[in-house]
């Protein structure tokens, strides 16, 4: 994410404190870059509003894009964790991480979040157990993704609403200009397929963090990338160091062809002299 680097925490949430220390213009610019890095088409942030913090010191910021789209950002308290964005009004199990936006969190909802409820505490316990298969350095981020419904949810949460034979996939991409990606699909083990995708991405990306782009459930998926020659490379080869990512898009559909078509359609506007969109991963 392009949010400011964590600073010494005054509230227990380093990312929030770093953001709060900026001017309003700098905050809007940082949030704009962060929401864009997640794949959302926000052309500019015209309003940024701090909605408050929950009992776990997660900070919530609401932002409005120039086109009128509203998002709520959840900034985890863990140092170096990733921010997550959700369109306002979307249904989600995590307290406060949906609408109503541009309203301060109330004491009643904060107390509800602190208690967690039977389902919330069970989900957190389950997520922590499921994420023990991750390397120790990545377990906190794994739990955050699980609680947010970003692909690492297994067991009871899956079986509660999906057929027992459901098949899952996951998509990871790095920020520009590195053209690294992770894609896995068609596995009945929701956690395993997610880990396979992120590990493949990190094997290409090295120290650059791979970022979760979406989960596939009983559908085909594809990744398209608009690639050009890196300015420091004599020629462009299969080596990622010779490539520059201009845009990465994803597609979903009932067939591979439908998923590829959707990904390519979203990618095409980035094409130009020396820049061509291509499918880099696909599967059902």
The first and second tokens of residue 256, run together, are: 């591979």
pLDDT at 278 (0 to 100)? 92
Question: What is the rounded distance in angstroms from the CA atom of residue 130 to the CA atom of residue 189?
Answer: 11
Q: Rounded to 5 degrees, what are φ and ψ at 258?
A: -65, -40
What pLDDT sits at residue 193? Answer: 84
Domain boundaries, the chain: 14-114, 116-148, 162-283
- Helix crossing, 117-130 with 107-115: angle to 10°? 50
CA angle 10, 15, 19 (to 5 degrees): 85
Whether the ω angle into residue 177 lies within 30 degrees of 0, i.e. cis, is yes
Which helix (H) or strand (E) element contains residue 120? helix 117-130
What pTM did the predictor assign?
Answer: 0.48
pLDDT, block means (10 residues), the chain with 284 residues? 51 83 87 81 85 83 85 80 76 57 59 36 54 59 56 39 77 89 88 84 85 86 92 81 89 93 92 91 93
Sheet of 276-283: strand order equals 243-253, 220-229, 276-283
Polymer length in residues for the chain: 284
């Amino acid at each position: 994410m392009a949010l400011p680097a964590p600073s010494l925490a005054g509230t227990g949430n380093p990312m929030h404190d770093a953001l709060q220390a900026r001017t309003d213009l700098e905050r809007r610019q940082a949030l704009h870059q962060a929401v864009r890095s997640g794949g959302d088409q926000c052309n500019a942030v015209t309003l940024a509003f701090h909605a408050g913090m929950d009992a776990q010191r997660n900070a919530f910021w609401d932002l409005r894009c120039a086109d009128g789209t509203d998002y709520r950002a959840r900034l985890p308290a863990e140092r170096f964790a990733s921010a997550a964005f959700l369109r306002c009004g979307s249904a989600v199990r995590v307290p406060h991480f949906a609408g109503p936006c541009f309203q301060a969190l109330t004491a009643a909802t904060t107390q509800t979040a602190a208690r967690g409820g039977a389902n919330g505490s069970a989900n957190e316990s389950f997520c922590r157990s499921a994420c023990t298969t991750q390397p120790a350095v990545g377990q906190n981020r794994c739990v955050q993704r699980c609680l947010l419904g970003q692909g690492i949810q297994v067991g009871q949460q899956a079986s509660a609403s999906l057929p027992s034979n459901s098949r899952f996939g996951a998509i990871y991409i790095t920020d520009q200009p590195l053209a690294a990606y992770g894609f896995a699909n068609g596995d009945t083990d929701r956690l395993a397929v997610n880990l396979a995708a992120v590990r493949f991405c990190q094997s290409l990306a090295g120290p650059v963090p791979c970022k979760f782009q979406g989960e596939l459930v009983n559908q085909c998926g594809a990744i398209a990338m608009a690639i050009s020659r890196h300015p420091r490379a004599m020629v462009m080869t299969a080596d990622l160091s010779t490539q520059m990512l201009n845009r990465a898009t994803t597609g979903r559909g009932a067939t591979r062809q439908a998923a590829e078509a959707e990904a390519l359609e979203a990618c095409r506007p980035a094409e130009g002299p020396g820049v061509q969109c291509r499918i880099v991963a696909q599967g059902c």
